[in-house]
C-alpha cells in the first residue's frame, strides 16, 4: 500500500538520525494520482466500479459508482464519481424500467487524529435525492473504512523490524500532526516525529 511505503521511509529516516535527536519534522507529499490508484485498488475493485446494489450479473437492476476523480476545494479533498443506476425487469430479453446517470460529489477534510490519517466532516452532493440513502451508505461504509490509515501503528510495526538487526533500539513515542495542506496536484502532510534512541 502506498502509505505503508511512506511510513517505511519515515522509519528509515528516523533510524539514520543522530542519537541526540529527539524530534524531527517530516513532510509527506501524496500526489492525488497515487490516491486515485489506491481508490481503484481498494474501493472501485470491479473493473473500476463499486456496486452499491446488484452486480454485473444483474444488468437490469443495479446501482454503482465509477470513474472517480480527485481534486481539492479549499481544505476539502473532493471525489467526483459517476453514478449509474437501473431499476427494471427483463421482458423478452430487453430491460424495461427506469435508469439514471449523474455525477456524485463526495468530500471530506483530511485529519490526523489518534494515530490515524482519515477524512472528517464528510459531505455529499447527489442531484437526485431518491438515491441519497444509497450513496450515504457507501460514504459511511466502504469509503470511510478504506480511506483510513493507521499511520502510528504502521510506523511502530516497522520499527520492530528495524530494531531486529540493530545494536541500539529506536522507539517512537509520538507522532504529532501539524498542518495538512491541499494543493492542486497533491496533499502535503506535516508531521512531528518524537523518537527515542537507546
Q: Return the pLDDT at 2.
A: 44
Query: How far, in Å, CA of 7 to CA of 151, rounded?
Result: 7
Q: What is the pTM of this model?
A: 0.76
CA pair distance 182, 188, nearest whole angstrom: 6
Query: In b/e form, how buried is each residue of 26-40, taking b as 16+ CB within 10 angstroms?
Result: bebebebebbeebbe
Predicted confidence (pLDDT) at residue 18 exceeds the cutoff of 60 = no
Intra-chain end-to-end CA distance of the chain, in Å: 30
Tell me the three cell numbers of residue 80: 467526483
Indicate the SS3 state at residue 22. coil
The percent of residues in the chain predicted with pLDDT above 70, rounded, is 88
Rounded Cα distance, 14 and 194, in Å? 9
pLDDT by residue (tens digit) across 170-198? 777 777 777 899 999 998 888 887 777 77
pLDDT exceeds 80 at position 38: yes
What is the structure's pLDDT at 116? Answer: 84
Amino acid at each position: 500500500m502506498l502509505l505503508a511505503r511512506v511510513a517505511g521511509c519515515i522509519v528509515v529516516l528516523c533510524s539514520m538520525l543522530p542519537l541526540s535527536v529527539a524530534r524531527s519534522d517530516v513532510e509527506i507529499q501524496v500526489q492525488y494520482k497515487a490516491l486515485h490508484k489506491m481508490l481503484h485498488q481498494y474501493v472501485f475493485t470491479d473493473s473500476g466500479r463499486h456496486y452499491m446494489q446488484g452486480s454485473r450479473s444483474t444488468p437490469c437492476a443495479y446501482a454503482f459508482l465509477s470513474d472517480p476523480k480527485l481534486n481539492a476545494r479549499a481544505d476539502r479533498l473532493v471525489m467526483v464519481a459517476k453514478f449509474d443506476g437501473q431499476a427494471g425487469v427483463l421482458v423478452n430479453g430487453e430491460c424495461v424500467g427506469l435508469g439514471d446517470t449523474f455525477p456524485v460529489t463526495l468530500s471530506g477534510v483530511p485529519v490526523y487524529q489518534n494515530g490515524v490519517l482519515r477524512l472528517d466532516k464528510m459531505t455529499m452532493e447527489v442531484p437526485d435525492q431518491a438515491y441519497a440513502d444509497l450513496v450515504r451508505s457507501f460514504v459511511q461504509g466502504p469509503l470511510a473504512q478504506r480511506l483510513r490509515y493507521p499511520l502510528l501503528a504502521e510506523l511502530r510495526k516497522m520499527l520492530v523490524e528495524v530494531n531486529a538487526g540493530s545494536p541500539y533500539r529506536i522507539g517512537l513515542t509520538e507522532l504529532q500532526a501539524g498542518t495538512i495542506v491541499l494543493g492542486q496536484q497533491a496533499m502535503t502532510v506535516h508531521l512531528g516525529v518524537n523518537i527515542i534512541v537507546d
